[in-house]
Structure 1
Amino acid sequence: GLRLWDDSIRALGASSRNLKPVAQYTTKSRWQNSRHSDFCSTKRKLARIYLLERARSNKRSARALIEELAPGEAIMGLVQVAYRLDITDREMMRRQFQFLSSVAERVPVKRLIVPNDFSALSAVRLAVLYDLSNRSLPC
């Protein structure tokens, strides 16, 4: 399931019967798509990890950008988005850092800069598909 704001729910066309409140401190809703509740039952090799970043420009642009990350940037990017239950547990932090370092060595980690506009989702999808096929997007 996903935790989404109202505008994301509308953009996905989510059915209200699949929505549940997340918690009293947020207006987000939890969405469970019953058609795809068992997304994948077999192991798959992870081809890429994309670290999402919103485009800094306020201009409406449908262009998505994918940037290569240096190994250190990749590890630190993964560390930034990792969830930690207890930030005072040094041993857990050490294990997590080792794990994320291992992941970054095995799986390409890239920055995916997305426009802040739902109408650009098809362009984002196209950029990812081109990247996964190891081709460059046409200009």
Structure 2
Amino acid sequence: MPLIPELERIIKQEETALSLSLILRFLEAGLPFCTEVEMEQYIYKWKSDSIHIINLKRTWEKLLCAARVIVAIENPADVSGISSRSTGQRAVLKFAAPSGAIPIVGPFTTGTFTNQIQAAFWEPRLLLVTNPRADH
């Protein structure tokens, strides 16, 4: 069975199986829901209680595009993942372990990618950022 129709089937099943307790847990945890106009393309449906359901098909397409970019880099050491916040550090480390990418977790030394005099200077061909606002 092709993957996209299978995803659509799963989306419909999950949409009907989504329980109120799960939604309440998300809200209690303070998980952000889509409020920005740029994110509307990733929304499958809006519920009446202002809960946004993610468009898994669109998200899957973007993940495939990102995977194509990552595998196009010949040397895995030229790929680097960065996360200064603890919420993204585990993801960066889990990505880096099997892929051979270089993880940068925790406090980031300014100038690592730009200051050639610095001992830790290096130029990755691809930089994966978990939170652009925090990891700039």
Task: Using structure 2 for the length normalisation, give the TM-score.
Answer: 0.29
Q: Which has the higher contact order (CA 8 A, sep 6+)?
A: 1
The structure that has the greater radius of gyration is 2
